[in-house]
Amino acid sequence: MATDSGGPVPFAQWAGTLKPQLLQAFESMGITHTTPVQEKVFQLPNFKQDCLVQAKTGTGKTIAFLVPALQNLLEAKDLDRSFVGLLVLAPTRELAQQIVDECVKLTSACNPPFECHIAVGGSSKKSHLSKFLKGKPTILVATPGRLIDYLSEDAARNKLSKIRCVVLDEADRMLDAGFAPALYQILQQIPPKASAGWQGMCFSATIPPEIEKMLPMVLAKGHARISTIDENEAPTIETVPQSVYPVASVDDVLPTLHSVLSCAKADNPALKAIIFCPTARHAGLLYHVFGHTGGAAPPKLPVFQMQSRMSQAQRTRTVEEFKQADRGLMFASDVVGRGMDFPDINLVVQIGVPGEKDQYVHRVGRTGRAGKLDGRAVMILAPEEMWFVRSNPEFPIKNEGPFTHPKAGTWPSAEIIRSALAKVPQQTKEQAYVGNLGFIKSLMKRYRLDAPGVVELANRFAKAFGCESIPELSPMTVGKMGLKGVPGIVVEGRGLVKGPVPGASGFADGRRGRGEGGRGGFGNGEDRNGNHAGASRGGGRGGRGGGRGGSRGRGRQGQSATASGGFGEEPKPKRPRW
C-alpha cells in the first residue's frame, strides 16, 4: 500500500479537476486543505477507480470517499435521480447520520440538489421507506440491517437497480458487529459488480482476512490500495495514559466516579469527558444521577447521554450538541465506542469492564482522535471486576490504588451520590439492575461466578444503585436469562427464590457472608428491616461453616422462622427490603 507523505494540500490545487459545486461547498464549509487520506484518494489516476483505503476514524475519510463519488454523479449525463446512484454502508446509525450531514453540505451548491436518504434502525421504517420510494434517492446511506429490510420490498430493490458506486465505511467494524451475512446478502441483491461495473470503495482501519475475502464482490482486480497509517507510529492504546482505580466494594464505585470527575474539573475547567457504562440502562441511570434529576455533576458542566435506548432523533441531536460543546460529560454505552468523532475529549472513564477487549481499545481511542493524544483514560473497578486488568497485561493500565487527589476531600462525594440517587425514579434504577444482571450473566465465566454468584453480585449493585429492594423480574425475563430457580432472584408474583447460597442479598458488611452464616449476610443476626431475627439465615450452607440443614431464619418483622435447607420460594411474596 502507498503510505502518506507530505503536508496538507490546498483544495484549490484541484480547481481544474473537481466540479465548481464541490469547490464552492468546501469554501462554505470553511475547509481549505486536504487531510492525508483525502490527498491520497484525490491523487488516484481518476475518480472512478476502485480503492481499498486503510485509515483511522477521525482523519477526514468521509470527504475522501464522498468527493469522488459525487464528482462522478455530477459528471454523469445519463443519471436518473429517481434511482440510487451512490450507496454508502456504515456500521452504526450515528456514523450513517454523520455521513448524511457531510453529504448535504457537500451538495449544497448543486442545482438541483441531490436527495440524500438515510436508512437506519431506531427510526420509523414505514415513514423512511415511503419517502425513499416516492422521492429521488440519488444517495442512500444505510446500516446493513435496515437495508436488508428495504430489500424485502420489490419496489425498493428496483430503486437500487442502477447503482454507480458502493462504499463500505468502517468495514472492519461492520464485520465485528456481525454484519457479514447482511453484507453478502446485500451484495447479492444489488446488480453484480462484474456486469454492472459500479465503482467500489472500501474504507477500514484494519484489513482482516474477512475483508480480503469479501473484496472481490466490491472491488475490481487491480484496485488501488492506500494506507495513511504509519507502520512506525505507536497505536493509540500504547500512547494514551491509562489507569485503574480499584475500589473496596461496589458501593464505592459511584462516589469514586464523582470524586474523579470533580477533581478533573478542578484541574481543567474545560473538562470534556465520556463515561462508558456496561449497558444502555446503566448509562441512563448515571445520566439521571449526574444530570438535572440528581444534580451530582460538577458545576457548569452540561450532562449528556448516548445509548441505544434513545430514539434516533434524540441520538442525532445529542451528537450535534456534544460536538459543539466545549465542555461536558457524556454517559454512554458502546454506541460511542467507535466511528463517532467528538473533538477535544480529554478524559475517558470506564465504569466496570467492557464486554470485549476491542471495546476497551476503541473506548480509549476516543481520547486520541486524529493524532490528538493529550487525553487520558481511567477505569473504576470493583474487586470482582479487577480480572479484566489481570487478564489483559498487554494494555498499559497502571494500578493507581484507591483514587487520591489533593482536592478530593473538598466534596462529600458519598453523600452527594446518595442524595442524587434518592431523586432518581425507582424504575430507572431497577432497569439498570436488569441490564447489569444480564451483562454479568453474559460474562459469568470471566467473572468466575456461578449463577447464584451472578445474582448475588448484581443484587449488590442494585443496592449501590439505590434500589429500595431487590427488583422484581418477570418469569419470562428470568427464563430468558437462564436464571430460573436461582437463589436471590425475586420473581413477580412469586417472591424471593430461596436457597443455600452464601451471602445473597443483605450485604450489611459488603461481603458474601461466607463466615457469618448462611444465605443472608445481613450481619449480626438482623433481617432486611434491621430487626434482630434469631439466627438470621444462620443455617443454609453456613458459608463453609454450618451444615446445610440448619435454621434459615427468614425472620421478617423480627421473628425467626425455620425451614430445611434446599430451594423454594416465599409463600406470600413480598419484595425483600435491604
In the numeric block, which cell numbers belong to residue 397?
493500565
Residue of 40 and 341 predicted with greater confidence:
40
376 is written with which cell numbers?
A: 487520558
How does the average pLDDT of the chain come out, rounded? 84
At residue 362, does pLDDT exceed 90? no
- Which H helix or E strand runs over 174? helix 171-176
> Is the pLDDT assigned to residue 529 strictly greater than 50?
no
Provide the residue type at 70 as one letter. Answer: L
| Residues 368 and 239 sit within 8 Å (Cβ to Cβ) | yes
Q: What is the pLDDT of residue 366?
A: 81
pLDDT at 545 over 60: no
pLDDT for position 316? 80
Whole-angstrom Cα distance, residue 503 to residue 101? 53
pLDDT value, residue 499: 73
CA distance 174 to 92: 8
Among the residue ranges 130-134, 141-145, 437-441, 510-514, the one predicted with the least confidence is: 510-514
User: 367-395, pLDDT tens digit by residue?
Assistant: 865 455 578 999 999 999 999 999 999 99
Give every CB contact of residue 156 below 8 A, 6+ residues apart in sequence: 129, 132, 133, 150
Mean pLDDT of 219-229: 93
Residue 524 pLDDT: 37
pLDDT, average across residues 440-458: 96
**Beta sheet of 139-142, edge-to-edge order:** 116-119, 139-142, 86-89, 165-168, 199-204, 51-54, 224-227
Q: What is the DSSP letter of 203?
A: E
- Predicted local distance difference test score (pLDDT) of residue 83: 97
Is the pLDDT score of 358 beyond 90? no
The pLDDT of residue 121 is 86
pLDDT tens digits along 181-214: 999 999 999 999 999 999 999 999 889 899 999 9
pLDDT tens profile 100-128: 999 999 999 888 889 999 999 877 788 88
Per-residue pLDDT tens over the stretch 96-105? 999 999 999 9
pLDDT at residue 517, as a whole number: 36
Query: Average of pLDDT values for 435-440?
Result: 97
pLDDT at 508 over 50: no
The answer to whether residues 261 and 330 touch, using CB atoms and an 8 Å cutoff, is: no
User: Which is it for strands 51-54 and 224-227: parallel, antiparallel or unpaired?
Assistant: parallel
More confidently predicted of 539 and 470: 470
Q: Which run of H or of E encompasses 554?
A: none
What pTM value is reported for the model?
0.66
pLDDT value of residue 124: 77
- Is residue 553 classed exposed, middle or buried when 0-12, 13-18 and 19+ CB atoms within 10 A define those classes? buried
C-beta of residue 480 within 8 angstroms of C-beta of residue 437: no
Residue among 258, 240, 291 nearest 403 (CA): 258
Domain residue spans of the chain: 11-227, 236-421, 448-569
Is 301 in contact with 269 (CB distance < 8 Å)? no
Is the pLDDT reported for residue 472 higher than 70? yes
Distance CA 528, CA 533 (A): 10
Which is nearest to 190 in space by CA: 47, 84, 80? 84
Assess whether pLDDT exceeds 60 at residue 532: no
| Parallel, antiparallel or unpaired: strands 495-498 and 568-569 | antiparallel
Q: Does the pLDDT at position 220 exceed 80? A: yes
Helix, strand, coil abundance in the chain, percent, nearest 5: 40, 15, 45
> Quick check: 217 pLDDT over 60?
yes
Per CATH, the homologous superfamily of domain 236-421 is P-loop containing nucleotide triphosphate hydrolases (3.40.50.300)
Among 399, 478, 402, 406, smallest CA distance to 438 is for 478
Banded pLDDT at 14 (limits 50, 70, 90): confident
11-227 homologous superfamily? P-loop containing nucleotide triphosphate hydrolases (3.40.50.300)
Question: What is the reported pLDDT for 405?
Answer: 94
Per-residue pLDDT of 321-336, as tens digits, reads: 998 999 999 999 877 6
| pLDDT score at 269 | 94
Residue 513 has pLDDT above 80, yes or no: no
497 pLDDT above the threshold of 60: yes
Alpha helices in 425-536 (DSSP H): 426-442, 444-447, 451-464, 475-480
Would you say the CATH fold of 236-421 matches that of 11-227?
Answer: yes
Percentage, residues of the chain above pLDDT 70: 83
